[in-house]
Amino acid sequence: MQDLTVIPATNAALPDAPKRLQHWIGGGWVDSADGATSERRSPAHGVPVSVAAKGGAAEAGAAIAAARAAFDAGHWSRSSGKDRATLLLKVADLIDRDRDAIARQEVLESGKPITQALAEIEGAADLWRYAAALARTMHGDSHNSLGPDMLGLVLKEPIGVVSLITPWNFPFLIISQKLPFALAAGCTAVVKPSELTPGTTVMLGHLLQEAGLPAGVCNIVLGYGDPVGEILSSDPRIDMVSFTGSTGVGKRISAAASATLKKVSLELGGKNPQVVFPDADLDAAADAIAFGVYFNAGECCNSGSRIIVHEDVAEALVAKVAALSRRVPFGEPLDPRTQVGAIISPEHLAKIDGYVRGAVAAGARVALGGAALEVGGLGAQFYQPTIVTGVTPDMPIAREEVFGPVLSVLTFRDFDEAIALANGAAYGLSAGVWSRDVSTCLDFARRVQAGTVWTNTWMDGFAELPFGGFKESGQGRELGRYGLEEFLEVKTVQMRIGATRGAWVA
Q: What gap in Å lies between CA 363 and CA 66, rounded to an integer? A: 56
Residues 301 and 404 grouped into a single domain = yes
Same domain, 116 and 216: yes
The string of DSSP letters for 127-138 reads HHHHHHHHHHH-
pLDDT of 506 higher than 90? no
Average pLDDT on 269-278 reads: 98
Give the pLDDT confidence of 340-398 residue by residue, as tens digits: 999 999 999 999 999 999 999 999 999 999 999 999 999 999 999 999 999 999 999 99
500 pLDDT tier (thresholds 50, 70, 90):
confident
> How far are the Cα atoms of 94, 109, 115, 118, 123 from residue 101, in angstroms, in the given order?
11, 13, 13, 9, 15
State the pLDDT at residue 1.
52
Judgement on whether residues 49 and 84 belong to the same structural domain of the protein: yes
Q: Per the domain annotation, does 91 fall within a domain?
A: yes
Indicate which CATH number applies to the domain containing 184: 3.40.605.10
- Residue-level pLDDT at 12: 82
Residue 2: predicted pLDDT: 64
Tell me, yes or no, whether 347 and 260 share the same domain: no
Cα–Cα distances in Å, from 190 out to 62, 128, 161, 219, 373? 10, 18, 8, 5, 39
In a domain, 8, yes or no: no
In this structure, is residue 499 part of a structural domain?
no
Residue 465 resides in a domain? no
CATH of the domain at 387: 3.40.309.10
CA 267 – CA 271 distance, rounded (Å):
13
At residue 502 the predicted structure's pLDDT band, cuts being 50, 70 and 90, is: confident
Q: pTM of this prediction?
A: 0.97
> Which among 290, 322, 319, 407 is positioned nearest to 359, based on CA atoms?
407
CA distance 38 to 24: 16
| pLDDT tens digits, 420-458 | 999 999 999 999 999 999 999 999 999 999 999 999 999
Same-domain check for residues 174 and 194: yes
Residues 238 and 319 in one domain: no
CA 243/CA 234 separation, integer angstroms? 13
Distance between CA atoms of 363 and 347, rounded to whole angstroms? 25
| Distance from C-alpha of 459 to C-alpha of 61, rounded to nearest angstrom | 38
Provide the β-strand partners of residue 302: none
For residues 375 and 415, state if they share a domain. yes
Q: Using one digit for the tens of pLDDT, what is the confidence trace for 163-221?
A: 999 999 999 999 999 999 999 999 999 999 999 999 999 999 999 999 999 999 999 99
Residue 173 lies in a domain: yes
Contact call for residues 378 and 342 (beta carbons, < 8 A): yes
Pairs from 76-80 (Cβ < 8 Å, separation ≥ 24) = 76/183, 76/186, 76/188, 76/214, 76/217, 77/158, 77/186, 77/187, 77/188, 78/186, 79/186
Is residue 432 one of the residues assigned to a domain? yes
Q: Are residues 47 and 62 in the same domain?
A: yes
Residue 128: HSE in the Cβ half-sphere, 13 Å Cα cutoff:
26
Whether residue 498 is predicted with pLDDT greater than 90 in this model: the reply is no
Is 2 a member of any domain? no
> Which residue range(s) make up the domain with 391?
273-455
Mean pLDDT of all residues belonging to the chain: 97
How many separate domains does the chain show? Answer: 2
Note whether 171 and 45 are same-domain residues: yes
Q: Could you tell me if 363 and 408 lie in one domain? A: yes
Distance CA 185, CA 483 (A): 10
b/e burial code for range 136-158 (CB count within 10 A of at least 16 → b): eebeeeeeeeeeeeebeeeebbb
Half-sphere exposure for 212 (CA within 13 Å, toward CB): 9
Q: Is residue 460 part of a domain?
A: no
Q: How far is CA 149 from CA 39, 153, 389, in A?
A: 66, 14, 70
In a shared domain, residues 254 and 291: no
The tens digit of pLDDT for each residue in 30-73 reads 999 999 999 999 999 999 999 999 999 999 999 999 999 999 99
Catalytic residues, which ones?
267
Same domain for 235 and 313? no
